[in-house]
């Protein structure tokens, strides 16, 4: 090979090598661009996802994290206590525990059900049934004594938990239960004053917000918000515990002695409207209210209306005197029977025609004489005075379920209504309404709204007196004084002699009314409601007592109810240290038989 040929061959080899290097560089560049594109797409996807997480979904994830770490613990408020007028506790709240189960965490249902039932006195089958529920939280018992709960808690049973709560306790047991009412397991008042003043007694619950890890350990420097509960207000009642106890004891004795179905007693101050005692028989123990019947829970002195009978005659007498239709010394000729349309009205005892003053008519409870007086008034005026004395509306006591009674307007009266209504039939009232009628007379003719609340004590310990009672004048002072003399005469020589209290002059009236059938279609055969309502001392009244007995075997108010009035009034006068007062002058009375 020549030198020229060798040089040419060398140049060709160098040319082929240069071509290869140029192709390799272009491929590498393409791969680099592709890799960069992939990286850009990946980073873009990450960036989009970050935007989604930190912008769009930030609130949802923040809430989820908050719910996992932060817990809210409810802090129940302590319920206010209830005191009598002298500061003695009649209702209070005691510490208790609620026992619950988380069924999905119960490891050995039969064994745990047996242990829970033994510790709490429950039915093992009921506990087993609770464990089978699909709910995440099931109450096993409420209001458990702390000592019993502690015994069970020490056993450390899986899925069994405990919560603090309170339990309502009534230290007097069955003392004024229809007045106080009771509280359910959820802490809400279900009857009586516990229900009426629920918002005051309950207070305002608080809560605590804490931050903890999944094991329940608090995170240092974590979220911690504490809103303390506001305790409920305490109530100071007008009830006197000692008078209330004696009234219930006397009522129970009277029910038994007269073989009655039940009874009601109301004691109040006529000048202030304060109720010192209120009771119904039969009653119940609010500490065990689940065992009580509905009939024993009702405060029938406020919620149940009855036909009052002859105690209503005082309204007819008041209207006649106030309007000048009859003078105190005026005599009416009264027979023992009187026909009004299709009905013949009779006095309790047969007697020949007699001359009787208004005082005689009240003292001897003459139906015929009362009807003759009412006819002088006419239906509209009689109805007006029944309204004035508050017999067509609630008293405004502030008590759940208070009845307004029943009194139709005159346009709905029948031809015999002017015979029935003046003597207390065909009209329905509550014992409290009727007690307020007599309190009006005892208070010089001024009606005072009755009340059970004397005042409120707030969480700061300051006493706030209750709003004063509303008042309205019904009859003049002179009329009230004259009526008081007639009522004193009725106790002195009339149908109310068994209401007399040694050392005190008593004014009052008996009542015996036929009992209406439950369906309202007529009267029960041989069944009556006997009552006596009066006040003492007659000259300066300090208290009014209304005594009502349901279906007494002794029938008459003067026999069945007057002795009950006497026992309660005598104790209350001594308890309040009321001094005897002078005797009132008796009204003109000239009862005598005429031909």
Residue 44 pLDDT level (bands cut at 50, 70, 90): confident
Backbone angles phi, psi at 548, to 5 degrees: -130, 130
From CA 558, how far away is CA 415, in angstroms rounded?
30
Domain boundary among 237, 254, 279: 237
DSSP code, position 287:
G
In a domain, 58, yes or no: no
pLDDT at 424: 96
251 and 223 housed in the same domain: no
Range picked from 66-70, 89-93, 125-129 for highest mean pLDDT: 89-93
Assess whether 228 and 290 both reside in one domain.
no
What does the CA dihedral 563, 568, 571, 574 come to, rounded to 10 degrees?
Answer: -100
What is the spatial distance between Cα 587 and Cα 441, in angstroms, rounded to a whole number? 15
CATH number for the domain spanning 80: value is: 3.90.1310.10
Model confidence at 72: pLDDT above 80: no
**Strand 332-334 with 337-340, pairing:** unpaired
Is the model's pLDDT at 34 over the cut of 90?
Answer: no
pLDDT at 437: 98
Residue 337 in any domain: the answer is: yes
Catalytic residue positions? 310
Please check whether residues 222 and 296 belong to one and the same domain.
no
Choosing from 202, 237, 272, the residue where a domain stops is 237
Give the CA diameter of the chain.
188
Tens-digit pLDDT profile for residues 174-198 = 999 999 999 998 889 999 999 999 9
- Check residue 423 and report its DSSP letter: G
Residue 61: band (very low, low, confident or very high) from pLDDT cuts 50, 70, 90: low
- Let me know if residue 9 belongs to a domain: no
Count up the domains in the chain and report the number: 2
> Quick one: pLDDT at residue 30?
81
Is 536 within the bounds of a domain?
Answer: yes
In a domain, 215, yes or no: yes
552 pLDDT more than 70: yes
Q: Give the domain CATH number at 493.
A: 3.40.710.10
Is residue 25 assigned to a domain? no
Give the Cα separation of 492 and 511 in Å (integer). Answer: 16
Query: In the block, which residue shows the tokens 């009209």?
Result: 427
477 shares its domain with 502: yes
229 near 205, Cβ under 8 Å? yes
Q: Are residues 281 and 394 in the same domain?
A: yes
Residues 6+ apart with CB under 8 A from 588: 328, 329, 357, 359
Q: Do the domain assignments include residue 381? A: yes
CB 514 within 8 A of CB 522: no
Please give the residue range of the domain that contains residue 371.
241-593
Give yes or no: residues 115 and 196 share one domain.
yes
The reply to whether 53 falls in a domain is no
Instruction: Reply yes or no: is the peptide bond before residue 537 cis, omega within 30 of 0.
Output: yes
pLDDT band of 19, cuts 50, 70, 90: low
Task: Judge if 392 and 505 occupy the same domain.
Answer: yes
Which of 237, 253, 276 is where one domain is finished? 237
Reduced 3-state DSSP string for 68-111: HHEEEEEECCCCCCEECCCCCEEEEEEEEEEEEECHHHCCCHHH
In whole angstroms, how far apart are CA 412 and each of 139, 378, 419, 518, 538? 56, 14, 14, 22, 38
Identify whether residues 488 and 438 lie together within a single domain. Answer: yes
Whether 330 and 448 share a structural domain: yes
pTM: 0.84
Q: Match 């004395």 to its residue by tokens.
A: 389
**Pair of tokens at residue 180:** 């106080």
Q: Are residues 211 and 334 in the same domain?
A: no
> Is residue 173 domain-shared with residue 256, that is, in the same domain?
no
What is the overall mean pLDDT for the chain?
89
DSSP code of residue 306: B
How far is it, in rounded angstroms, from Cα 280 to Cα 283?
6
Residue 116 has pLDDT above 80, yes or no: yes
- pLDDT at residue 280 in the model: 97
* CA angle, 128 then 132 then 133, to 5°: 125
- In a shared domain, residues 205 and 222: yes
Residue 225 CA to residue 240 CA, distance in Å, equals 44
């Amino acid at each position: 090979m020549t030198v020229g040929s060798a040089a040419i061959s060398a140049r060709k080899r160098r040319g082929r090598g240069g071509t290869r290097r140029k192709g390799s560089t272009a491929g590498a560049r393409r791969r680099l661009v592709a890799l960069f594109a992939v990286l850009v797409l990946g980073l873009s996807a990450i960036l989009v996802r970050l935007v989604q997480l930190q912008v769009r979904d930030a609130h949802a994830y923040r809430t989820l994290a908050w719910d996992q770490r932060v817990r809210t613990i409810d802090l129940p408020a302590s319920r206010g206590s209830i005191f009598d007028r002298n500061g003695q506790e009649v209702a209070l709240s005691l510490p208790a525990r609620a026992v619950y189960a988380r069924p999905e965490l119960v490891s050995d249902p039969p064994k745990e059900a047996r242990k829970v039932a033994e510790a709490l006195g429950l039915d093992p089958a009921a506990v087993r049934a609770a464990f089978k529920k699909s709910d995440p939280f099931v109450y096993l018992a409420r209001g458990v004594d702390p000592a019993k709960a502690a015994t069970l808690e020490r056993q450390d049973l899986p899925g069994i938990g405990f919560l603090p709560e309170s339990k309502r306790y009534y230290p007097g047991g069955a003392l004024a239960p229809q007045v106080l009412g009771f509280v359910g397991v959820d802490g809400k008042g279900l009857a009586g004053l516990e229900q009426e003043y629920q918002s005051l007694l309950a207070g305002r619950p608080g809560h605590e917000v804490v931050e903890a890890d999944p094991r329940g350990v608090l995170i240092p420097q974590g979220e911690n918000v504490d809103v303390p509960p506001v305790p409920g207000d305490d109530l100071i009642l007008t009830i006197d515990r000692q008078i209330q106890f004696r009234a219930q004891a006397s009522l129970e004795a009277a029910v038994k002695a007269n073989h009655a179905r039940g009874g009601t007693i109301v004691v109040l101050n006529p000048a202030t409207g304060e109720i010192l005692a209120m009771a119904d028989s039969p009653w119940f123990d609010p500490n065990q209210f689940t065992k009580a019947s509905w009939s024993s829970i009702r405060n029938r002195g406020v919620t149940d209306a009855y036909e009052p009978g002859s105690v209503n005659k005082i309204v007819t007498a008041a209207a006649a005197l106030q309007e000048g239709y009859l003078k105190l010394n005026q005599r009416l000729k009264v027979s023992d029977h009187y026909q009004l349309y299709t009905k013949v009205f009779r006095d309790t005892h047969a007697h020949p025609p007699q001359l009787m003053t208004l005082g005689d008519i009240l003292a001897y409870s003459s139906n015929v004489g009362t009807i003759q007086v009412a006819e002088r008034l006419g239906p509209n005026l009689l109805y007006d005075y029944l309204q004035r004395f508050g017999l067509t509306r609630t008293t405004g006591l502030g008590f759940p379920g208070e009845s307004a009674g029943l009194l139709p307007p005159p346009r709905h009266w029948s031809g015999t209504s002017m015979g029935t209504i003046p003597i207390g039939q065909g009209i329905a009232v509550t014992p409290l309404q009727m007690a307020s009628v007599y309190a009006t007379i005892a208070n010089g003719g001024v009606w005072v709204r009755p009340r059970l609340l004397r005042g409120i004590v707030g969480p700061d310990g300051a006493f706030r007196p209750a709003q004063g009672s509303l008042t309205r004048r019904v009859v003049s002072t002179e009329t009230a004084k004259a009526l008081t003399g007639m009522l004193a005469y009725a106790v002195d020589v009339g149908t109310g002699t068994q209401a007399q209290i040694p050392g005190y002059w008593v004014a009052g009236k008996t009542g015996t009314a036929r009992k209406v059938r439950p369906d309202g279609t007529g009267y029960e055969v041989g069944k009556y409601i006997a009552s006596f309502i009066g006040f003492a001392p007659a000259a300066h009244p300090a208290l009014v007592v209304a005594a009502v007995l349901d279906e007494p075997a002794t029938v008459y108010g003067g026999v069945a109810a007057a002795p009950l009035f006497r026992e309660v009034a005598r104790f209350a006068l001594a308890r309040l240290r009321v001094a005897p007062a002078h005797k009132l002058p008796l009204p003109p009375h000239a009862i005598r038989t005429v031909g």
